[in-house]
Structure 1
Amino acid sequence: KSGCNKERIILHRMGINLGIFKFSERRIQSNESIKILTVGRLVEKKGHKYAIKAIAKIVKRYKNIEYIIAGDGSLRKELENLVSELEIKNYVEFLGVVEQNEVLKLYRQAHIFVLPSITASNGDQEGIPIVLMEAQATGLPVISTYHSGIPEVIVDGESGFLVPEKDIDALTQKIEYLIEHSEIWPEMGRAGRKFIEERYDINKLNKRLVEIYRALHTNNVNELERPKRY
Structure 2
Amino acid sequence: MDRTGKIVVLLKGYPRLSETFIAQELLGLERAGFELEIVAMRRPTDKKRHPVHDEIRARVSYLPEYLHEEPLRVLRALRKTCLLPGFGKALSSFWKDLKRDFSRNRFRRFGQAAVLVAEWPQGGKWLHAHFIHTPASVARYASEISGIPWSISAHAKDIWTSEDWDLAEKLQSADWGVTCTRVGYEKLSSLSGGRDVMHLSYHGLDLERFPHFDGQRPRRDGSDPTDPLRVLSVGRAVKKKGYDVLLKAFAKLPANLHWQFTHIGGGDELGSLKALAGELGISDRIVWKGSMDQRDVLAHYRDSDLFALACRITADGDRDGLPNVLVEAASQRLMAVSTTVSGISELFVDGENALLVESEDAEALSITLQRVMTDPDLRERLGVAAEARVRKDFDHHNSIHDLDRLFTEAWERRGI
- Could you tell me the TM-score, scaled by structure 2's length? 0.49
Runs of 4+ in 1 over 4 A off after TM superposition: 211-219
2:292 paired residue number: 98
Q: Distance in 1 between matches of 2:238 and 2:290?
A: 13
Give the aligned partner of residue 4 of structure 1: 194
Q: 1:154 maps to what in 2?
A: 348
Residue 214 of structure 1, CA deviation? 5.5
* Residue among 218, 242, 246 paired with 1:51: 246
Distance 1:217 1:190 in 2: 41
Matches within 5 A, 1:1-230: 1-2=190-191, 3-4=193-194, 9-24=198-213, 27-29=217-219, 32-62=227-257, 64-212=258-406
Structure 2, unaligned runs of 5 or more: 1-189
CA contact (8 A) 1:139 1:189 kept: yes
Deviation at 1:216, TM superposition (A): 6.2
Letter of the aligned partner of 1:27 in structure 2? R
What secondary structure is seen at the aligned counterpart in 1 of 2:308? strand
Q: Is the 8 A contact 2:311 2:339 kept in 1?
A: yes
Q: Distance in 2 between matches of 1:29 and 1:157?
A: 20
- In the alignment, what sits opposite 2:104? none
Deviations 1:8-50 (A, max 9, x none): 7532221110111133366325653210011000110000011
How far apart, CA to CA, are the structure 2 residues paired with 1:166 and 1:111? 23
Q: What is the DSSP-based 3-state SS (H/G/I as helix, E as strand, rest coil) of the residue aligned with 2:312?
A: coil
- Give me the whole-angstrom Cα distance separating, in 2, the residues matched to 1:99 and 1:9: 32
2:335–2:382 Cα contact (<8 Å) kept:
yes
Aligned-residue offset at 1:209: 3.7
Judge which range, 147-156 or 25-34, deviates more: 25-34
Cα 1:148/1:185, change in 2 over 3 Å: same
- Structure index of larger Rg: 2
Report how far residue 95 of structure 1 moved.
1.1
The number of residue pairs the alignment matches comes to 217
Q: Which amino acid aligns with 2:238?
A: V
TM-score, length of structure 1 as denominator length: 0.86
Q: Is the 8 A contact 1:27 1:182 kept in 2?
A: no
Q: Contact 2:219–2:376 (CA<8 Å) still a contact in 1? A: no
Unmatched tracts of structure 1, length 5 or more: 220-230
Paired-residue identity, %: 28
Instruction: Find the aligned partners of 1:83 and 1:4 in 2 and give their Cα distance.
Output: 49
Q: Match of 1:113, SS?
A: strand
Larger CA deviation: 209-218 vs 66-75: 209-218
Q: Distance in 2 between matches of 1:110 and 1:59?
A: 20
> Aligned partners of 1:166, 1:29: CA distance in 2, in Å?
30
Please say if residues 27 and 185 of structure 1, whose CA atoms lie closer than 8 Å, have aligned partners that are also in contact.
no
Residue 79 of structure 1 deviates from its aligned partner by 0.6
Residues 93-123 of structure 1, C-alpha deviation per residue, up to 9 Å, x if partnerless?
1111122211111111111000100112332
Alpha-carbon distance in 2 for matches of 1:212, 1:183: 43
Specify whether residues 23 and 185 from structure 1 end up closer, same or farther in structure 2 by C-alpha distance, changes over 3 A only: farther
The alignment partner of 2:284 has SS state of coil
